[in-house]
Amino acid sequence: MYRYDEFDHKLVADRVNQFRGQVERRVSGALSEDQFKPLRLMNGVYLQLHAYMLRVAIPYGTLRSEQMRMLAHIARKYDRGYGHFTTRQNIQYNWPALDEIPDLLDELACVEMHAIQTSGNCIRNVTSDQYAGAIEGEAEDPRIVSEIIRQWSTFHPEFTYLPRKFKIAVTAHKNDRAAIKLHDIGIVVKQNDAGEIGYEVHVGGGQGRTPFVAKKMTDFVPKAKLLAYLEAVMRVYNMLGRRDNSYKARIKILVHETGEEEMRRMVEEEFAKIDASEMLTVPQEEIDRISAYFAPPAFETLPADSQAFSQAQADDADFARFVRANVVAHKQDGYAIVNISLKPIGGVPGDATDAQMDVIADLAERFSHDEVRVTHEQNLVLPHVKLDDVKTVYDALAAHELATANLGLISDQIACPGLDYCNLANARSIPLAQEISERFSDLDRQYDIGELKIKISGCINACGHHHVGHIGILGVDKKGTEFYQISLGGAADENAAIGQITGRAFTEEDIVDAIETVVTTYTDLRADGERFIDTYNRVGMAPFKERLYD
């Protein structure tokens, strides 16, 4: 994992002091709330329905155990004993006091963490694949370029007051777990025929009220040229992105209104100008320095199979279920990737208590080479666990309600905070997610249904990713009553697609039944081995519509 050098440390400390000054100027009245707003936002501080909310950055979703312990400590000391992991691999605290936030940030800085650019109209915290460095088949560890992008985009003087927020995601695997095509910029690390590493760049994806899948701008940018290319995209956007209407200000609208071809032409033209100076060509020594931090941990040479692991599954049906749903093959023989679901039946998606975070930190330290990952689906991962240790890890997780065996299943839902916390929401999301998970709580039924991604947003801003849920649910407000609209066929992976709305919305009383109708329609129609999304793509909307409305 990347470690700060003196420069990184100093800059984060500077930022904390700067923010302390900004808070003081706000408290003294020197700054109006309007003037303070973009400054606090740039540092992850939102004013929510009940209180200030702080979003802490977890760059590309990677944490060391001491960092996870600090997140637990902050939940205890400054919040109400829990934190909420978000769809951008960050963590949010819902109850910090504004005047305590500078001290909180000081504590975070001690473990090389911060809240820089987790909100505001700037380049946000870069996200990546939670299996980085652990899964077979990556062109390169995507965190190397993610860290370079993190540094380049931090306090970028030209791109701090963009028309709107700007999100970058990176993957290096054919299976996209970072939803890169739904980001302002999505990057695929790949190898060309000559064996050189470079980047495929997608631009203009996004959700919100006008969802778009990103357009591929270029097939291959050589490694040394990536920042020049990104700066070209950013400059075109900063100069031509709309500022008259915040709903039309994202780069996806610019790409849509300009057209893919013209956008590509403008980016190429800008790229040629910027690249001519070679000012943004990162020195090889620096790339090597950063790459070294992401070298594989010291894996032991082990057999591919573990007798203890197999035996434990035979002896314990619950453990076998956990392995089936939550454990993924590792690239290194004798190791496994262990997913920790933060979606217990009836729980709040993405929430973890301070005690749970401490347990996970301890497990990471003892069994996973000190690493934890956060996923955009609001779960956690222990990326490097020996097969021999999986049962021990499972037992510890189970003792803290962290062993729900539902990864990728119907109860593993994404939900935004909704009307319970958010001042934008029209409807509640969390209680609905809880009801759905209780309706489908039977694990055997969940396995029978198979991979099915339900995503719930409490308003059109789509923080719960409803557009790209296999089943998406959108809360809408009609004359003061909460209704829920269903969409089908969305996907956030390498086959990214925007879901189609089924028809009129359902009441709070009817929505869970409607979801059940969609699910049984699928199980009635599916061919052998078909997942929900496969069946939907084969049969289309009509049969679902018929069962829902006739």
Partner 1 sequence: MTDYHLVIDGATAEESWIYLDDDAALSDAPSIISLTRLKDQAYALAERSAPLGVILRADGLGKTDLGEDVRELAPFIDRLALIAIHFPAYRNGRGYSAARVLREEFNFTGQLRATGDVLYDQWAMMNRCGINAFELAADIDLATFQTALGELSGAYQPAADQNRGALWARGK
Least distance to partner 1, CB of residue 311, Å: 50
Q: How far apart are CA 368 and CA 394, in angstroms?
A: 13
Nearer to partner 1, 87 or 154 (CB): 154
Residue with tokens 């289309």: 540
Does the footprint of partner 1 cover residue 273 (CB under 8 A)? yes
Least distance to partner 1, CB of residue 238, Å: 5
Determine which residue in the list 27, 97, 272, 279 makes contact with partner 1, applying CB under 8 A. 279
Write out the two tokens for 286. Answer: 């620096």
Closest by alpha carbon to 421, among 376, 459, 372, 383? 459
Least distance to partner 1, CB of residue 26, Å: 12
Write out the two tokens for 124. Answer: 């946000």
Q: How far apart are CA 83 and CA 61, in angstroms?
A: 15
Interface with partner 1 in residues 4-33 (CB under 8 A): 5, 7-8, 10-11, 14-15, 17-18, 21-22
User: Which span sits near partner 1 by CB under 8 A: 170-178, 234-242, 294-302, 468-476?
Assistant: 234-242
Does the footprint of partner 1 cover residue 265 (CB under 8 A)? no
Q: How far apart are CA 297 and CA 508, in angstroms?
A: 49
Are the C-beta atoms of residues 344 and 400 closer than 8 Å to each other? no
Determine which residue in the list 162, 180, 251, 357 makes contact with partner 1, applying CB under 8 A. 162
Helices (H) and strands (E) in the chain, counts: 18, 21
Q: How far apart are CA 451 and CA 526, in angstroms?
A: 13
Interface with partner 1 in residues 99-118 (CB under 8 A): none
Write out the two tokens for 176. Answer: 């996209």
User: Which span sits near partner 1 by CB under 8 A: 132-140, 160-168, 177-185, 523-531?
Assistant: 160-168
Sort 37 into a burial class: Cβ within 10 Å, 0-12 / 13-18 / 19+.
middle
Determine which residue in the list 82, 93, 131, 159 makes contact with partner 1, applying CB under 8 A. 159
Task: Read off the DSSP letter of residue 224.
Answer: G
Write out the two tokens for 490. Answer: 């969305």
Does the footprint of partner 1 cover residue 286 (CB under 8 A)? yes
Least distance to partner 1, CB of residue 152, Å: 5
User: Which span sits near partner 1 by CB under 8 A: 210-218, 238-246, 380-388, 458-466?
Assistant: 238-246
Q: C-alpha dihedral over 254, 259, 263, 265, to 10 degrees? A: -160
Residues touching partner 1: how many (CB under 8 A)? 45
Concatenating the DSSP letter of every residue in 161-213 gives: S-SS-B-EEEE-SSS-SS-GGGSSEEEEEEE-TTS-EEEEEEE--B-TTS-BP
Nearer to partner 1, 153 or 487 (CB): 153
Does the footprint of partner 1 cover residue 95 (CB under 8 A)? no
Q: How far apart are CA 347 and CA 46, in angstroms?
A: 24
Does the footprint of partner 1 cover residue 547 (CB under 8 A)? no
Nearer to partner 1, 11 or 512 (CB): 11
Does the footprint of partner 1 cover residue 301 (CB under 8 A)? no
Determine which residue in the list 49, 109, 111, 280 makes contact with partner 1, applying CB under 8 A. 280
Are the C-beta atoms of residues 370 and 378 closer than 8 Å to each other? no
Nearer to partner 1, 246 or 523 (CB): 246
The contact set with partner 1 (CB under 8 A) reads 5, 7-8, 10-11, 14-15, 17-18, 21-22, 35, 38-39, 121, 148, 151-162, 227, 235, 238-240, 242-244, 273, 277, 279-280, 282-283, 285-286, 289
